[in-house]
Amino acid sequence: MSANGIPEDVLMNTELIKDLQTVAKDAALLHGVLMRTKEHPNSSEVVTYAPFTLFPSPVPKAVFLQALAVQTHFNVLVDKISQDSGFLEEALASTIAVDEFTRRLFNIYKQIQKEGRSQSIVLGLNRSDYMLDENKDGNSSLKQIEINTIAASFGGLSSRMPDVHRHILRVAGRLEESQRVLDNNPAAGLAMGLAKAWELYGSERAVVMFLVEDSQRNIFDHRYVEDELWKRNITTIRRRFENVSMTTSLDQEKRLFVDGQEVAVVYFRNGYMPQNYTSEQSWEARLLIERSLAVKCPDISTHLAGTKKVQQELARHGVLERFFPEQPQVVEQIRATFTGLYTLDMGPEGDQTVALALSKPEQFVLKPQREGGGNNLYGSEMYQVLEVVKESPERTAYILMDKIQPKPLHNYLLRRDSPLELSSCVSELGVFGAYVRQGKDMVMNECVGHLLRTKSTEHADGGVAAGVAVLDNPLLF
């Protein structure tokens, strides 16, 4: 690894590494870095460790602090976008014409706009993801990949990772490095946002409902946030879309009841991909929740604010100034994290983007309006798709982004049933934000922790849940 991380002689010490992998796996189990297995995704009878790096990965202190400092501004930006119906409609007009999933979300948004919002409390729990882009001089700059406004995951498991790496480093005789592993507890921070929304809702009997997927391998990530709520004497329940459609009702005041329990907050850990909506009943359940008095995390407008098309529109000249008039320093901080983002709308500008991508496919990423990892297109695959859609409105379902070029480092990626080998890796830094607004008053706006994920350079795309990346910790230098 080196480059101010773990020295190469440690990485190449095969006897030490062999011993450390056993220590590391036991440490992960000991500290609760857990997932259910692929074979039994809905059973906690058999569990395994979530995949992770043997050693923490070096991250420059300056860019790490930059990412933390800008997070509260991104929280405000997402919230401002969610309230700007003109901007959302204009930004998403071309996308909803060709992308059915985004169109169905947008139709719910329009219906709520027409009927009027039932709840003035807004809760946002998001995660802004970055990579370090290395220029020709060898210097690295922080560049945003995306911001996740729905089901931003791994706040729970990343809260347990510092103790795992500290223990590994102590056993390896790297005491100085062990002391440089940062404390990190996004689970508590995310729960703080949920608790504030619950408190403002104003009913001690009401519950927080986690809306979850059918397959729940990553349940322990949720459980840490749930546990923080239980410590505050806030009851949590877990339900799927089909539960909601069968057992949920609204009373005359639009209070949401599930199995007779009043719901103060709905925390969406599901609903971000088309396959999450398995039937029309799923869509009806989403609309019912949006109509209700319950606080939604996210509500439908905040969900749409996190789309890739909105991300691309924000990079246009003068758009950030629309949301931060007379705040040039905030605009500068946010814009400094942007990489090149290009429209594929029909017309001369979109045509120019297509020509640029086809001429240098290795320099770009083609991104659809999807969350959950593993959706982006690179290289020859991107080229083939663009060749098919280049003359068609179908191209507007995507945006084009400069491919961020991080400097690879070496580490061991520990996965169940995988051989132990030194891999060339790149890392992705996520920063968690939590905010609560009541009416026009922002009552909470915080950066609540971080997440580092690392993957082999042989994989272009995909996160931990997609089986590509693994959990990590930043080792600042």
239 is catalytic: no
H/E stretch holding 441: strand 441-456
Encoded amino acid at 6, one letter:
I
Two tokens, residue 156? 């729970």
Q: Name the active-site residue from 13, 134, 238, 372.
A: 372
HSE value, Cβ hemisphere, 13 Å, CA-based, for 12: 4
146 is catalytic: yes
372 is catalytic: yes
148 is catalytic: yes
394 is catalytic: no
Give buried/exposed letters for 448-466 (b at 16+ CB in 10 A, else e): bbbbbbbbbeeebbbbbbe
374 is catalytic: no
How many C-beta atoms surround the C-beta of residue 229 within 10 A?
23
453 is catalytic: yes
Conformational region of residue 373, where left means phi above 0, alpha means psi within -120 to 50, and beta covers everything else: left
Two tokens, residue 94? 């071309």
Q: Name the active-site residue from 5, 25, 57, 146.
A: 146
CB 186 within 8 A of CB 155: yes
Q: Name the active-site residue from 141, 371, 427, 433.
A: 371
Q: Name the active-site residue from 82, 128, 140, 148.
A: 148
How many C-beta atoms surround the C-beta of residue 68 within 10 A?
16
CB 218 within 8 A of CB 153: yes
CB 266 within 8 A of CB 295: yes
SS3 431: strand
Conformational region of residue 344, where left means phi above 0, alpha means psi within -120 to 50, and beta covers everything else: alpha
Q: Name the active-site residue from 25, 36, 127, 255.
A: 127
Q: Which residues contact 75 (CB under 8 A, 6 or more apart)?
A: 124, 126, 433, 434, 435, 445, 446
254 is catalytic: no
Q: Name the active-site residue from 153, 158, 159, 301.
A: 153
Q: Name the active-site residue from 308, 370, 437, 455.
A: 308
How many C-beta atoms surround the C-beta of residue 90 within 10 A?
11
Q: Name the active-site residue from 453, 455, 463, 473.
A: 453
DSSP 29-75: HHTT-EEE-SSSTT-SSSEEEPPEESSPEEE-HHHHHHHHHHHHHHH
CB 339 within 8 A of CB 402: yes
CB 315 within 8 A of CB 88: no
Helix residue ranges per DSSP H, 336-437: 348-359, 379-389
DSSP structural state of residue 5: S
SS3 412: strand
Catalytic (active-site) positions: 127, 146, 148, 153, 308, 367, 371-372, 453
